[in-house]
Amino acid sequence: MYLSTARLAPVARTDGPVRRLLSGNVLALGLVSLVTDVSAEMVTAILPAYLVLGLHLTTVQYGMIDGLHAGMTALFRLGGGYAADRWRLRKAVAGFGYGLSALAKLGLLAAGPSVAGIGGALAADRVGKGLRTPPRDALITMSVPEPMLGRAFGVHRTMDGVGAFLGPLAALGVLALAGSGQAFPAVFVASFCAAALGVLLLVLFVRDRREPAVRVEPRAWSPPWRLLATAEFRRVWLAAVLLGLVTIGDGFVYLLLQRREDLSIMWFPLLAVGTNLAYLLLATPLGWLADRIGRGTTVAAGCAALLGVYVLLATGGGSIPLILLLYGAFYAATDGVLMACTGPVVPERWRTSGMAVVQTGQALAYLVSSLAFGAAWQVWGPAAACWAAAAGAALALPLCGRWLR
């Protein structure tokens, strides 16, 4: 599931032709994400079994493969965002990213037992994800009028979440059809088919905004981080970084739940399922709420939910469903809404880059926070580490609320 790969999303407003709420474009992008997430989560669901049983790969080798491209995604995110803006190729860059991830599924099939081949295919998949996310979110912002951005992102994230939810089920379905838990090639082929459908849907139904020929400042090469020079954008970026810093990571949350309830490992994967369910159910209503009562307020409410999670984890209070509900609510109140906040503060000319800068900042902050939380757990013990995280969330609550007004 989403474990940790901080899902970052960007925002924008429209100053171009105003489209009706939830324009076809948003639904089309949502559909593309849904189908693509089915594809991605199918592979995620069977990857451990494939690597361990199918290929006799060891954890050490897998760790090496995985470590190789953690940083690459961020780099490609910024690069893709810049290219999309520079040459007005948002749809093309997004399509390239989706296409690359689709081909990566065939790459897994073709790589066979080659560790380098598998590493390459997984790297291509991540590069594709890095490339497509900012232009996709930029396209969403350009599809609806500014006051409806929250709803647009909410709907998109709900559809995205439905895909993530269906993916593992689809993988099980393919395995059941094949009658074997080791029919890995069948899952890769099915995953490719879903991804290819996603690309096709993008090509057929997603429209890029054709702005009038831009009076480009011919040689004004403006690096994306130049955006940070404006105070408005900096505040949104700081809020994103702060959110990244106070998110300790799904893995830790689930581990704490599992330990305190002495949950059978049978049930462990269901924790992620529960969070995802809450996320996808709440993303749309909370996006709508954000348009009504203000995005900063909604993000602050998300921080409050996160604070609740940490306090319950620290004290051992609350039930598992309640904690998962709060945790999913936190994601639903912040993920899309944060992107809805980004759009309006970035000139349309650099919107994709702006999204990429915000997403990358949040992702890097998130990396730092999970390391810090791990260290705090080690030194102070889990309860104290949770209190520290709660203090962080309590601090982020008013700050995010203010910065994202």
Q: List binders of another protein among 170-189 (CB under 8 A).
A: 171-172, 174-183, 185-186, 189
Provide the sign of the torsion angle of the four alpha carbons 204, 205, 208, 212, taken in this order: positive
Q: Which stretch binds another protein (CB under 8 A): 1-9, 76-84, 236-244, 352-360?
A: 1-9
Query: Radius of gyration (Cα) for the chain, nearest Å?
Result: 20
Q: Which stretch binds another protein (CB under 8 A): 47-55, 213-221, 326-334, 393-401?
A: 47-55
Q: Are 157 and 332 in contact (CB under 8 A)?
A: yes
Q: Which stretch binds another protein (CB under 8 A): 131-139, 255-263, 314-322, 332-340?
A: 255-263
For the CB of residue 203, give the shortest distance to another protein in the complex, in Å: 9
Site string for another protein, 322-361 (x = CB under 8 A): ----------------------------------------
Give the span between the Cα atoms of 146 and 24, in whole angstroms: 16
Number of residues that bind another protein (CB under 8 A): 72
Task: State which of positions 359-388 bind another protein (CB under 8 A).
Answer: 370, 374, 377-378, 381-382
Indicate which single residue of 116, 204, 220, 231 sits in contact with another protein (rule: CB under 8 A).
204
Residue 55 lies near another protein (rule: CB under 8 A): yes
Site string for another protein, 69-108 (x = CB under 8 A): -x--------------------------------------
For the CB of residue 157, give the shortest distance to another protein in the complex, in Å: 19
Nearest CA to 125 among 65, 169, 52?
65
Residue 59 lies near another protein (rule: CB under 8 A): yes
Whichever of 255 and 395 has its CB closer to another protein, that residue is: 255
Give the span between the Cα atoms of 309 and 315, in whole angstroms: 10
Contacts of 385 (CB under 8 A, 6+ apart): 373, 376, 377
Residue 294 lies near another protein (rule: CB under 8 A): no
State which H helix or E strand residue 281 sits in: helix 268-293
Whichever of 293 and 368 has its CB closer to another protein, that residue is: 368
Q: Which stretch binds another protein (CB under 8 A): 45-53, 75-83, 88-96, 397-405?
A: 45-53
Whichever of 114 and 319 has its CB closer to another protein, that residue is: 114
Contacts of 270 (CB under 8 A, 6+ apart): none
Residue 250 lies near another protein (rule: CB under 8 A): yes
Nearest CA to 50 among 152, 168, 187?
187
Residue 212 lies near another protein (rule: CB under 8 A): no
Residue 46 lies near another protein (rule: CB under 8 A): yes
State which H helix or E strand residue 286 sits in: helix 268-293
Give the span between the Cα atoms of 149 and 75, in whole angstroms: 27
Give the span between the Cα atoms of 360 and 237, in whole angstroms: 10
Whichever of 61 and 230 has its CB closer to another protein, that residue is: 61
Whichever of 216 and 375 has its CB closer to another protein, that residue is: 375
Q: Which stretch binds another protein (CB under 8 A): 128-136, 230-238, 248-256, 324-332?
A: 248-256
User: If you ran DSSP here, which 8-state letter would residue 212 be given?
Assistant: S
Nearest CA to 121 among 175, 194, 51, 183?
51
Nearest CA to 381 among 321, 281, 317, 314?
314
Task: State which of positions 104-163 bind another protein (CB under 8 A).
Answer: 112-113
Residue 201 lies near another protein (rule: CB under 8 A): yes
State which H helix or E strand residue 124 sits in: helix 115-141
Indicate which single residue of 81, 97, 167, 249 sits in contact with another protein (rule: CB under 8 A).
249
Whichever of 110 and 177 has its CB closer to another protein, that residue is: 177
Within 10 A of 177 (CB to CB), how many other CB atoms are there? Answer: 11
What CA dihedral angle connects 151, 73, 354 and 228, to 10 degrees? 130
Q: Which stretch binds another protein (CB under 8 A): 10-18, 154-162, 261-269, 297-305?
A: 261-269
Contacts of 177 (CB under 8 A, 6+ apart): 186
- The label of the residue with tokens 């810090």 reads 372
